[in-house]
Structure 1
Amino acid sequence: MLVKKEVSFLHGNILTKEMLNETYVYPRDFVELKYCDYSDGIIAGLDFVENDGTTYLTKGIVKFKGEYYFLLEDINLTSYFLEMHKQQNWSTKLYYLYLKSSTPIKVDSIIVQNLDLYVSEECKQDDLFLLCRFYGGKDNMELPQLNGNEEKEPFKKLTDDNLYVNMIDTLYAMPGKATYHPFLFKAVAEYLEQKPNKSILDNVILMQIQNMKVLSIDAMKTYINAVGCDDEKATNRKELFDSFIKCLKKEEEQKTFLEKNKENEHLKSRRHNGPKGMLL
């Protein structure tokens, strides 16, 4: 049986334990039903944005070890970066920004457990949730951008340049297996929008990102195999994303080759079918 409940808070009435319990259980059940089959990762928000030279982490929801944590206000990462840089005197090397679970605190029968920002030089710590990798030698956490002017490596700043924030290993929750952060797929969409003579597969990928912000890992592998690349060689998230990007560029190169070949065939046809001289 399906059920819908409403709690009425009338002026002068006494709040009962059952009324308060319903205000807690109902929204919690909604979140659990909607995302129970999702992997750990970012459920919504927690995007990296830059405004007037300041980098922010937007409010959102994270699923971590099966529990849901809510960030209700944007975090000024630039201020955090500058303060931590002074305290810890970061050197010119790579650091990892995590969310770390705090010790639960009980206040008036309410148990509060936070995920706090935490910086470490070590990567892949299972008891922490990774937000990004960054370079400690700058005065800000600089976000990467697609370099459309660089034909050979337009995604280099997003995947391989250590001077910029890197989100390759940031988990975004999906049914089954976590995918990549929407920040990366936004760059993919930008690349495809600029790509001339897009194929049917290109348009399918672009529409999926425009509708859902992300692609599932399975969808990426299907695209890779359809284009003719081999995704079995990818042993980690970085290699899989590189393979996906390689296929985007490979298909464009194939398209260019086919267009040139078609032009050559057309020229040959014109020469063969053109007017012939008259023998006298």
Structure 2
Amino acid sequence: MKLNFRPNFEKGLILKQYMLEALRDYPESYIELLYSNMGDGIITGLEISVVGESIFCIKPGIVKNQDKVYIFQGRTNLEFSEGERYVYLKIKEEKQIDGIKYKMDIIQTEQETEEFLEIFRYIKNAKMKEYTNINELFLENRPTNRIDTSYSKQSIEGGNTVRKEYFILYARKIIEKPNATIRDVAFAYECMNGIYNIEILKSYFETEQLDNETIFQLMKKRLSELELTLEKKEVQMPEKSKTRKTIIS
């Protein structure tokens, strides 16, 4: 039986090794247990903003990579580079005599790689901004000068999915549709509040395959279905016949 121990630090007590071990192990065990059922990806944070004309600011966050949870504490400023770039969180473990040192850096490269955890990518030749319309993601040639997190993974219960900002953009489009079903609207409000479980996506999209590319294809398909149904309804709606006036003399 493994017993938990919470140390009591009071004045006059002698600091012992097992007290320090408990102080080390308790938070680590709690974090591992808290996120044990979640997939690899960004759990929270690591939002990107643009500062001035040439700087990305990447905020702190929590990520899960290869089943390990890491806390990225540093706010990082990253200078724009011209052309196509990929931005990753590089995690490196260094074993030392007194423990394991975790080094985390934000790096940008000219080449795509699966070695590190992707945060975003971009192609710069003008002013940078975020996606504001989900339809931009459905274009064969996407617009440049966007903070593109569509290849990044959001960690949720049971797996991972696309970042939450894209579900919000999708939800806004759904709510605009007057012919959206109750099921669509319910899912849209779920998107606004945040998708936290993979089973919600499996149920709504009716598929087990939920990689980022498939999710965007299914979003596009559903919005197209609603648009097509609405167009047919408008065409088939008969014009109201004019009532013939009767004159009584």
- Asked if these proteins are the same fold (TM beyond 0.5), I'd say yes
CA drift at 1:180:
0.7
Flag the 1:154–1:122 CA change in 2: closer, same or farther, 3 A.
Answer: closer
Name the CA distance, whole Å, in 2 between partners of 1:255 and 1:136: 37
CA offset at residue 224 of structure 1?
3.8
Contact 1:179–1:216 under 8 Å retained in 2: no
The CA RMSD measured in Å over matched residues stands at 3.6
**Structure 1 residues 35, 69: closer, same or farther in 2, change over 3 A?**
same
Partner of 1:88: none
1 or 2, which has the higher helix percentage? 1
Q: 2:118 aligns with which of 127, 130, 151?
A: 130
Measure the CA separation in 1 of the matches of 2:160 and 2:133: 26
Q: Does structure 1 conserve the Cα–Cα contact (< 8 Å) formed by 2:76 and 2:106? A: no
In the other structure, the counterpart of 2:222 is: 247
Contact 1:39–1:173 (Cα < 8 Å) also in 2: yes
CA deviation map 1:95-150 (0-9, x unaligned): 2111122351638x24211221122222242x211111112545x7x2323248xx
1:43–1:62 Cα contact (<8 Å) kept: yes
Q: Distance in 1 between matches of 2:33 and 2:211?
A: 30
Deviation of 1:65 after TM superposition, in Å, equals 1.2
Say whether the 8 Å CA contact 2:150–2:212 is kept in structure 1: yes
**Alignment-derived partner of residue 209 in structure 1:** 191
Residue 115 in structure 1 maps to residue 115 in structure 2: no
* One-letter amino acid of the structure 2 residue matched with residue 63 of structure 1: K
Question: Cα offset for 1:218?
Answer: 5.4
Rounded Cα–Cα distance in structure 2 between residues aligned with 1:2 and 1:251: 56
Matching of residue 146 in structure 1 with residue 132 in structure 2: yes
Which whole-Å deviations, capped at 9, do the CAs of 1:16-72 have from their partners, x for residues lacking one?
111111122112111211222222111122222456766432221111112111012
Q: Secondary structure at the match of 1:240?
A: helix
Q: Distance in 2 between matches of 1:208 and 1:249?
A: 21
Counterpart Cα distance in 1 of 2:129 and 2:8: 47
Q: Could you say what secondary structure the match of 2:79 adopts? A: helix
- Structure 1 unaligned segments of length 5 or more: list them: 86-90, 226-230
Cα distance in structure 2, aligned partners of 1:119 and 1:206: 34
Q: Is the 8 A contact 1:48 1:183 kept in 2?
A: no
SS of the residue corresponding to residue 207 of structure 1 reads helix
Is residue 68 from structure 1 mapped to residue 69 from structure 2 by the alignment? Answer: yes
Q: 1:236 to 1:6 in 2, by over 3 A?
A: closer
Residues 75-90 of structure 1 mapped to structure 2, 5 A cutoff: 75-76=76-77, 80-82=78-80, 85=81
Which sections of structure 2, spanning at least 5 residues, go unmatched? none
The secondary structure found in structure 2 opposite 1:102 is strand
What's the TM-score, normalizing by structure 2? 0.78
Equivalents in 2 of 1:3, 1:206: separation in Å? 45
User: In the alignment, residue 226 of structure 2 is paired with which amino acid?
Assistant: E
The corresponding residue for 2:233 is 258
Of the candidates 208, 212, 229, which is equivalent to residue 237 of structure 1? 212
The correspondence of residues 172-211 of structure 1 with structure 2, limited to 5 A, is 172-211=154-193
**What is the letter of the counterpart of residue 95 of structure 1?**
R
Counterpart of 2:153 in structure 1 is: 171
Q: Secondary structure at the match of 1:70?
A: strand
**What does residue 47 of structure 1 align with?**
47
Q: CA deviation at 1:243?
A: 2.8
What TM-score do you get using the length of structure 1 for normalisation? 0.71
One-letter amino acid of the structure 2 residue matched with residue 214 of structure 1: I
CA drift of 1:221 comes to 5.1
Identity %: 22
Q: Distance in 2 between matches of 1:196 and 1:155?
A: 23
> For the residues of structure 1 that align with 2:181 and 2:2, how far apart are their CA atoms?
45
For 2:228 and 2:49, how far apart are their aligned partners in 1? 32
Structure 2 distance, partners of 1:118, 1:51, is 18
